Each structure stands twice: as structure tokens, then as C-alpha cells.
Amino acid sequence: MSEKAKLIAEMLEMQKMFQDYENKNGVDAKDYFAAEDGHPLHNYREKYQELANKVDEMAHADKGSTRWFTS
């Protein structure tokens, strides 16, 4: 499995975890945006964005294109 495929698989697993958590508990904005240490969503957005940026960079490298914006 390529590194890009591994990252995508990790993102899909994160999405499943989030959906399962949301279905069981609901998601409060505070928990989504500022979850405390130990909370299942702690750093979720940051980690997901990091993975998405890596996949995006790899996809552009594969195609020889560049991002039109920077994060």
C-alpha cells in the first residue's frame, strides 16, 4: 500500500470514529473545536487537516501541479 493510500485509510478510519461518536453521543461545538485532553475528539480537526494536507501535497506531486493556496 502506498503512503498516500495509508494516509487516506487513516482519514477514513478517523471519519468512521467521528461518525460513531456523533451517533452515540452527539457532538457539541466545544468538543469539536476545543476538546480537552482525553476527549475522543481532542486534536481531531488538527490531525485530520494535517493528513488531508499531506494527501493533497502528494496528489499534486503525482500530477506535477501546485496548490493554488497555502494553508
Instruction: Render pLDDT for 20-66 as a digit per residue (tens, 0 to 9).
Output: 999 999 999 999 999 999 999 999 999 999 999 999 999 998 888 87
Please name the residues in contact with 62: beta carbons below 8 A apart, sequence gap of 6 or more: 4
Q: How confident is the model at residue 71 (pLDDT cuts 50, 70, 90)?
A: low
The CA-atom distances, in angstroms, between 11 and each of 4, 22, 48, 58 are: 11, 16, 7, 15
Q: What angle do CA 49, 54, 68 make, to 5 degrees?
A: 85
